[in-house]
Structure 1
Amino acid sequence: MLTPNPAAMDFLLTRRSRPAKTMTGPYPDRAALMPILTAAARTPDHGKLEPWRFVVLDRAALDRLAALAVARGAALGLDGEKMAKGRDQFAQSGLAVAVVSCPRPSDKVPAIEQVYSAGAVCLAMVNAALAAGWGANWLSGWVSHDRAFVEQGLGLGDHESVAGFIHIGTETSAPPDRPRPDLDAITTWASE
């Protein structure tokens, strides 16, 4: 058995994402962001295929994506509220990292396991940012699933998709805890 790490366990039991819209500057610079990206890249990836990559989005890129969200929302005929939600996740942020899922051809590792790994990278990045003292939030939304948006805005290839946008900044207020799952309702103990 490994040596217990009570501080790490306490962090995991009490961690809480910070809503992206409540974060402000300062934002991590490149030097502060590198350990967060490094920690996220340590996620298991079932065969060392690295089926994900990162696109760091600064203020200029976020402004461009906010405008593209409006254009794409209009082209798709989205209602104003849905369009605004897609725009605001970029317009109200100062730094985000797009985690791009890019499954690799493999006879041993199914594509779905590679996609799961990209999702795990998103959570690892949020946790690393929180552990480093930043506020962090994992968002997706309709923009993540619109092919024209991800191709035009992020330069994604046909085989790539957005696993999530991880927004990182300085939290302005700690959110209240939310209800957590009832473990008895979601856990089955298989003994035989």
Structure 2
Amino acid sequence: MSAFDAVMRRQSHSKVTSAAPSRLELLPFVEAAATVADHSGLKPWRLIELRGDARVRLGAAFAEASGATGKDAEKAASKPLRAELLIAVVFTHKPSFKVPAWEQEAVASGVAHTLSLLLDEAGWGVFWRTGILTRTEPVHRMHELAPNEQLLGWLYVGGLPDKTKSDKRKRLEAGRYLTTLT
């Protein structure tokens, strides 16, 4: 399959099975994702695997950060249990006079997106979850983030269910988004 074909068929899978790639299976995908354009080669990112109990601790951090109680706290705490593997995407700002913070964050986002494409192309279900909880103190503490780090979200990774969404994406009217400057 060509890169074009893989990108055109990619879709998010919010429901996945309990299967997940092992750490050894994951490493080549991370290595390939690290080839994204990176001005000055700063590598302003890192990834954190969350499996097993780490997902439960993340759920507790979600509940604490949301201030929820009772059933709402249980609902918040259950979100990280939707996949056996979560990959936290962390932007690590590196001091640089040449590369502004926004460009470094774009590199981290590029790594995450490329990794999601590679996993999807390999047959794994992937969903990139973001949201307000990524910027909360309990969630930062749980991930042991340094002061120069920000969480960009999590790739939820698992097996594809038997019945996957077969609807083709609505094609973009590319001409509306690609303009010409004369």
Shared topology, TM-score over 0.5? yes
Distance 2:77 2:67 in 1: 11
Distance 1:150 1:165 in 2: 12
1:37 to 11, 17, 30: 30
TM, length-normalised to structure 1? 0.84
Distance 1:112 1:90 in 2: 28
Q: Tell me the SS of whatever aligns to 1:174.
A: coil
How many residues were matched structurally? 179
Unaligned runs of 5+ in 2: none
Cα offset, 1:94, TM superposition:
0.8
Partner of 2:160: 171
Partner of 2:140: 151
Tell me whether 1:103 sits opposite 2:98 in the alignment: no
1:17 to 3, 12, 15: 12
Decide which moves more: 48-57 or 9-18: 9-18
Distance 1:45 1:150 in 2: 27
Distance 1:156 1:70 in 2: 19
1:135 to 111, 125, 135: 125
User: Residue 151 of structure 1 aligns to which amino acid in structure 2?
Assistant: H
Partner of 1:181: 172
8 Å contact kept, 1:69–1:87: yes
TM, length-normalised to structure 2? 0.89
2:149 to 144, 160, 182: 160
User: Residue 17 of structure 1 aligns to which amino acid in structure 2?
Assistant: S
User: Residue 71 of structure 1 aligns to which amino acid in structure 2?
Assistant: E
Q: Cα deviation per residue 1:104-146 (whole Å; 9 max; x = unaligned)?
A: 0001111110011111111011001112221111111221121
Q: Cα deviation per residue 1:55-75 (whole Å; 9 max; x = unaligned)?
A: 110121001111221122117
